Structure 1
Amino acid sequence: MQDALEQATKPVATRKQAEKRQKLLAQAAIQINSNGAGSINLDAVAKAAGLSRNAIYYYVSDKSELAYLCLSATCDAIQEDLDEALAGFDDPALQISEFVRLNLIERSGRLAVLGDYDLLGGEQCSELLAKERKILDGLAGCVARGIASGRFRAVDPHLVANCSIGMINWVRLAPRWLGEPLDDANGRRLADAICELLLRGFAARDKLPTSHWPFVEQLTVTKVNPFDRGEAREQKRDQLLATASQLFNRRGIDGTSLNDIVAELGATKGVFYHYFRDKTELVVECYNRAFELYDTFVEAARSYGTNGFERALITNHLNCQAQLGSAPPLTLQTGLDALPESVRSQFITRSQKIWLEVQRLFASGVDDGSCRAGDIRSMTEAAAGTFAWLARGGLANSGKSAWELADAICDVVGYGILIDRN
């Protein structure tokens, strides 16, 4: 299998230089996934790759170029794995399974989480988006052929493709947020979980109606007395957090400036500094708001669901709705290690708590017969990737409402795309 990581930068003269370049990009991927593409530490990357600080400039001119080359190489590697999977099998279900296996197991942690393109120049951003679209189109074509052949149900091929890449993207990042090991065994479990969710879902019974499920606005809208100064101030602060979260989700934290946020609000920087000291405090408060919303969704799922399966799927449905709305929670994304240690450990604890709550919902479904038995730990971890990608606005012009898109995504993750799920 030709390695796209070895082709991303300028030509090299020797095998040793090619190996150094490959190590450099692999270490850059680790930095992007932990600190964010805009916060790469060149000294740390050079040391981990076995290069001096001066030697790194033989391969890249600065950290921005390194981020671009690493993200470009990741796109190339994903495309390469998809092409290999499509060429190796005729069955579209096996093509999807092989693609996921190649990319998450064979690549063994050497690829970056896709995104953060906006911090790069316009031409580089456009190139990366075009590469990602090509991958999504290839996956969608595979799903469409499965539908045409009678192997898959009638689903939206592009939605399934986005869910696939969304889960792959998320499980590269999830171990950091959940305190999980970044090892091959965990990668195999998560690859199997993605394939299980996509192909078979986790429902043990026939489809349930969703008409009685809650709208996210029912749970998040609060009445404010405009004549109460304290309440009015808090409303403005919440609006700032919601707007910042939406932009951070769409462009990445490093790709969004304070000027972008206040411009979106039609405000000034002075208004921002009335509420927050700096961007780091803003990001921390956006995450605090997100965790409160995630807790709210789990509690609502317990109230509205009639069995374990329905409660688990309502949680996913509410998260989909929220990411498609105008005031989404901040998605758990790259840059966790760039936050203060005390905050980082607190966020990992809160992430683990929510993850455990969803596992309990799923486990109760296995007990009551509404969920298929399986690797609950890995499946609940992977499932978050089916809504995290929505934050980037990929289906903004689909012509469907947030509720309809949430229904379609939950239909895939809940029931799978195979006609014969046995």
Structure 2
Amino acid sequence: MSAAPAKKSAGETGTKRFQAKRDAILAAAAQAINDQSAKGMTFADVAARVGLNTTSVTYYFRRKEDLASACFEHTLEQLQAMLDEAMEETTPRARVARYLSINFARLARITRGEQTEFAVLSDLRAMDEPMKSRLLAGWQRVFRNTRALWGDPADRMAKDLNGARAHVLLENTFWLSAWLTRYELDEFARIEARLMDVFANGIAGAGAQWAPRLLGIGEDARGDGRTDFLVAATRLINELGYRGASVQRIASERNVTKGSFYHHLDAKDELVTECYRRSFNLIAEAQAKAHAGGENSWQMLANVMATLLDVQFSDRGPLLRTTALSGLPPRDRQTMIDRSNRIARRFAGMISDGIADGSLRAGDPLVASQTLMTLQNAAFDMRKWASTMPRERAVAFYASTLMFGLFDDRVVAA
């Protein structure tokens, strides 16, 4: 006769109950952060998501900032665990494929309701000290360990290129949750294979060379006071998030009064909408000018991506990141998402044309277009990296990650 299971002590049971409730609060808070940003999250909302009252939440986390910090720390821990697993592989390509597969498996579990999303990290810079420094140090460790997937670099140029590769890989896996919902669960394996194909082999056709022509977008608006105001606001919102970038801080960035802000715009929501409109107009202008150039699809795509990255890395930039969407009212948010989707479809059309004319590799244009949207969108965070080298090299290195793939060194040899 088998022995009866040992009876759990009251302390052990209480500890497990405490941990389970804490985990549920963290999961709910992560969802709230992803919906509303860390600044917009409230104890009342988190409590409602887990069926508690606000006082019960404060028993586990005394301040909202403590809860947000715990969510971000959990995300960083999960990312590090995934990277540790990927590093078990012996080659850079196998490590990247393993990391991508781990992410798709995680998203499949979320789709099936077996797991909750972790908190996106876009609000780290908006946190207060000393939490901000601790979290950013954790993010730097994740970035360095992602870069290590490619092994030890032979020289500084190889290290710079691997830094671009690491950032593009991370940002693409973060962005997956925004567009993978358009596919049925049984298609995830196919999408994973198509995305890995872009990572491994790039978009360019055989024999393609990187020799882009900058398209001169936004020239009509240079020196315009309203445009300068939008550029300054975009930069601050990208750094601190929608709720972290207050009207006062935006006005101070331009060394003007709050009254001057309201001379340009009626409300902060209108500001974000106008920043998005400016950014999307610049992308659309680049696409239109590339089409008007009469070149093959590879050259058109190279011209567009080089132009957008040049804007992102220059004083004329940046373009507004998609992370600001969480602060917008639902109707405005949907309008911006629809515009973004139209731009992505135009990239998909350019890729389809390139596959037809032979200047681009055969692949899934819809998947590839999402990687290009991620590329130009996330480049803002690499401005410091880009400032350490000639801008033309920074643009070439960053663009090469998807144009030629994450394992092709021809841009370094050029």
Q: Name the larger-Rg structure.
A: 2
Pick the TM interval, shorter chain.
0.7 to 0.9
- Seen in structure 2, the aligned counterparts of structure 1 residues 390 and 198 have a Cα distance that, compared at 3 Å, is same
Specify whether residues 319 and 417 from structure 1 end up closer, same or farther in structure 2 by C-alpha distance, changes over 3 A only.
same
Choose between structure 1 and 2 for higher RCO, CA contacts under 8 A separated by at least 6 residues. 1
Q: Is 1:278 aligned with 2:280?
A: no
Residue 135 of structure 1 is aligned with which of 138, 142, 149? 142
Q: Which residue of 2 aligns with 1:98?
A: 98
Tell me what 2:37 maps to: 36
SS of 1:54's partner is helix
Structure 1 partner of 2:290: 301
Q: Distance in 1 between matches of 2:259 and 2:187?
A: 46
Q: Is the 8 A contact 1:34 1:336 kept in 2?
A: no
From the superposition, tell whether residues 409 and 189 of structure 1 become closer, same or farther in structure 2 (CA, over 3 Å).
Answer: farther
Distance in 2 (alpha carbons) for counterparts of 1:264 and 1:419? 40
User: Any residues of structure 2 matched to 1:92-241 within 5 Å, and which?
Assistant: 92-106=92-106, 108=110, 110-145=117-152, 156-174=161-179, 180-181=181-182, 191-211=192-212, 213-215=213-215, 218-222=216-220, 235-241=224-230
Contiguous gaps of at least 5 residues in structure 1: 1-10, 225-231
Q: C-alpha displacement at 1:363, in angstroms? A: 0.7
Change (3 A) 1:48 1:214: same
Q: How far off is 1:335 after superposition?
A: 4.7
SS at match of 1:210: coil
Q: Which residue of 1 aligns with 2:369?
A: 380
Distance apart, 1:73 and its partner CA? 1.0
Give me the whole-angstrom Cα distance separating, in 1, the residues matched to 2:187 and 2:263: 44
Taking every aligned residue pair, what percent have the same amino acid on both sides? 24
TM alignment of 1:45-64, pairs within 5 A = 45-64=46-65
Conservation of the 8 A alpha-carbon contact between 1:289 and 1:329: no
Question: Match of 1:3?
Answer: none
Compute the displacement of 1:141 (Å): 2.1
Q: Name 1:353's counterpart in structure 2.
A: 342
Contact 2:272 2:324 in 1 (8 A): no
Alpha carbons of structure 1 residues 392 and 53: separation in structure 2 relative to 1, 3 Å: same
How far 1:239 sits from its partner (Å)?
A: 0.9
Aligned length: 389
Q: TM-score, normalised by structure 1?
A: 0.83
**In structure 1, what residue type is equivalent to 2:256?**
A
> Which letter maps to 2:84?
D
Distance 1:308 1:417 in 2: 21
CA positional deviation for 1:205: 1.2
Aligned to 2:82: 81
Cα deviation code 1:163-208 (max 9, x no counterpart): 1112222333456xxxx44975676566545433332112221232
Report the secondary structure of 2:243's partner residue: coil
How far is the alpha carbon of 1:156 from its aligned partner?
Answer: 1.4
- Can you list the C-alpha shifts for 1:82-120, whole angstroms capped at 9, x where unaligned? 01111x211221111112222343263612222212321
Partner SS for 2:198: helix
1:328 aligns with 2:329: no
Kept in 2, the 8 Å contact 1:167–1:385? The answer is yes
Q: Deviations over 1:112-140 (max 9, x none)?
A: 22221232112211111111111111122
Alpha-carbon distance in structure 2 between the residues aligned to 1:414 and 1:397 = 18
Aligned residue runs from structure 1 range 236-247, under 5 A: 236-247=225-236
State whether structure 2 residue 411 is matched by structure 1 residue 413: no
Instruction: Give, in whole Å, the separation in 2 of the partners of 1:240 and 1:61.
Output: 38
In structure 2, the CA distance between the partners of 1:243 and 1:193, relative to structure 1 (3 Å rule), is farther
In structure 2, the gaps of 5 or more residues are 1-11, 111-115
